[in-house]
Amino acid sequence: MRLLPGGFSSGSLPLPNLYRKAMSNKKRRNRKAASGSSGSTSSNSSPTQTNVIDGTPENYALAGQAEDSSQAASVDKTGLIAYLKANLWMVGIICFLALGVLGSGLKYLDEEARREIARRANSKGNLNNQLEQSFLNKVNPFLPSPTPTPTPQLTRKYIYAGSQLLAVEDANATAAPPSDLAIWRPSNGEWWVMAGTGSQQVTQAWGISTDKPVPGDYDGDGKTDFAVWRPSDGNWYIINSSGGGGQLVLGVSTDLPAPADYDGDGRTDAAVYRPTNGTWYIQQSSDYQVVTAQFGVSADIPAPADYNGDGKADIAVWRNTDQKFYWKNDSGSGYQEIYIGQGGLPVSADYDGDGRANFAIKNGADWVIMNSALSQVQTTSWQQAGDKAVQNDYDGDGKVDIAVWHDTTGTWYIKNSADNSTRTVQWGVTGDTPVPAYYRR
């Protein structure tokens, strides 16, 4: 073994202070045995002795100068491995600190990536995609990816009026809800609305025997409201389907009630036709003003409906002696005569589903319906002459169905416009008044 100046062997070159302090006593003894000029052989090294054995700063410099670089590297590696083996706890701490620094770095990068994605998403007005948010998930394949949120497959439409839910409809199905079968019983003032699929029947006591039922959507929530008009004092009593109720005074005992949405605000307006002077009195729901219009003669029957499809009910009367409808234009003072060619009772409604009511009458068992072009009538015979007309859209196809109610049996006969099939339902008894509408919509 080649001795180095200062008495150290090449196999025991002094390590940097950090390593030196932790060297084992066994190695120190070996080095001392190899040194021929060591001042002490005692194993009980005093601080002074330790300094001598391990060398002074001058010794380190001498040793470094004497060694060639390859030898020094080899010795360093051997010493380092030995040192690491002997100090696993410190290695553990160092590794732990290093991992902590690495983890902090990755976490910072991850958060920065999230912020950047959020900035880009916000600038586009798009929602963040959870899958794209995590930088860690991209660089670390062992982290579980978030389960992708399924794209909602909406098949239903939620229809609101303000905050109130009006209807839930299947977007793929017919949008128009079917009309309810309903009767009003004058003897006790009860309303009976037949149950539909998945719904309960509705009963409501509202009105007295001398009242006249005037159902309509007075609060504009899309559902028909129970309402009666009392001829004796002209009072209208309304239960709003959205809650609460309404009461107003309009009309005298000889008037004929003619409620409809004349101002087109989506709410039914209370209205009467006064045969004695041929005048219409309409309380507009939009401003509560009562507007009047002189249109008709004493024998006329009011037949208001939206004939031109502008969303406003139009004033019109049926004059049986002329076999004509008289239709007041929405604007101006003009009017139009529609000749049907037969006598009967008016049953105007939108039978062809074009959004415009058709002028129509029921003559005995025959339904005589004018087309929207006012060019020709179509006649359909349906059930018996004495039946009451109860036309409405019962099959929900957007077209009003020809239908009658047979008083002696309380039976409804509906001619479904969708497929021309016949629906027969018993609902009500003799003496009831049929009042079909959209109560449960």
Part in contact with Ca ion (CB under 5 A); list of ranges 102-110, 181-189, 239-247, 431-439:
239-247
Report the C-alpha gap between 221 and 223 in whole angstroms: 6
- Give the one residue of 169, 255, 269, 300 binding Ca ion; rule: CB under 5 A: 269
CB-CB contact of 39 with 54 (8 Å): no
Q: Binding of Ca ion at residue 67 (CB under 5 A)?
A: no
Q: Binding of Ca ion at residue 350 (CB under 5 A)?
A: no
- Give the one residue of 211, 217, 255, 387 binding Ca ion; rule: CB under 5 A: 217
Q: How far is the CB of 330 from Ca ion (least distance, A)?
A: 5
Q: Binding of Ca ion at residue 441 (CB under 5 A)?
A: no
Q: Where are the beta strands (DSSP E) in 311-417?
A: 316-319, 324-328, 335-339, 345-346, 360-363, 366-370, 377-381, 388-389, 402-406, 411-415
Report the C-alpha gap between 302 and 318 in whole angstroms: 6
Binders of Ca ion among 406-425, rule CB under 5 A?
Answer: 417
Q: Binding of Ca ion at residue 401 (CB under 5 A)?
A: yes
Return the SS3 of 203.
strand
Report the C-alpha gap between 73 and 64 in whole angstroms: 11
Whichever of 63 and 403 has its CB closer to Ca ion, that residue is 403
- Give the one residue of 31, 185, 223, 274 binding Ca ion; rule: CB under 5 A: 223
Who's near 139: CB < 8 A, 6+ residues apart? 106
Q: How far is the CB of 326 from Ca ion (least distance, A)?
A: 15
CB-CB contact of 308 with 330 (8 Å): yes
- Give the one residue of 169, 225, 255, 387 binding Ca ion; rule: CB under 5 A: 225
Whichever of 113 and 370 has its CB closer to Ca ion, that residue is 370
Part in contact with Ca ion (CB under 5 A); list of ranges 53-61, 160-168, 235-243, 375-383:
235-243
Tokens read off for 102: 């690495």
3-state helix, strand, coil in the chain (%, to 5): 20, 30, 50
Residue 170 is inside which H or E element, if any? strand 164-170
Question: DSSP assignment, residue 11?
Answer: G
Whichever of 79 and 396 has its CB closer to Ca ion, that residue is 396
Q: How far is the CB of 265 from Ca ion (least distance, A)?
A: 4
Whichever of 59 and 416 has its CB closer to Ca ion, that residue is 416
- Give the one residue of 112, 116, 310, 354 binding Ca ion; rule: CB under 5 A: 310
Q: How far is the CB of 154 from Ca ion (least distance, A)?
A: 26
CB-CB contact of 370 with 359 (8 Å): yes
# residues near Ca ion by CB under 5 A: 23
Q: Binding of Ca ion at residue 180 (CB under 5 A)?
A: no
- Give the one residue of 12, 59, 285, 392 binding Ca ion; rule: CB under 5 A: 285
Whichever of 63 and 270 has its CB closer to Ca ion, that residue is 270
Which DSSP string do the residues of 223-255 spell out, in sequence order?
SPBEEEEETTTTEEEEE-TTSSEEEEE---TT-
- Give the one residue of 314, 350, 387, 432 binding Ca ion; rule: CB under 5 A: 314
Q: Binding of Ca ion at residue 261 (CB under 5 A)?
A: yes
Whichever of 310 and 337 has its CB closer to Ca ion, that residue is 310
Pairing of strands 411-415, 422-426: antiparallel
Residue 31 φ then ψ, to 5°: -65, -40
Whichever of 285 and 363 has its CB closer to Ca ion, that residue is 285
Binding stretches for Ca ion (CB under 5 A): 217, 219, 221, 223, 225, 241, 261, 263, 265, 267, 269, 285, 306, 308, 310, 312, 314, 393, 395, 397, 399, 401, 417
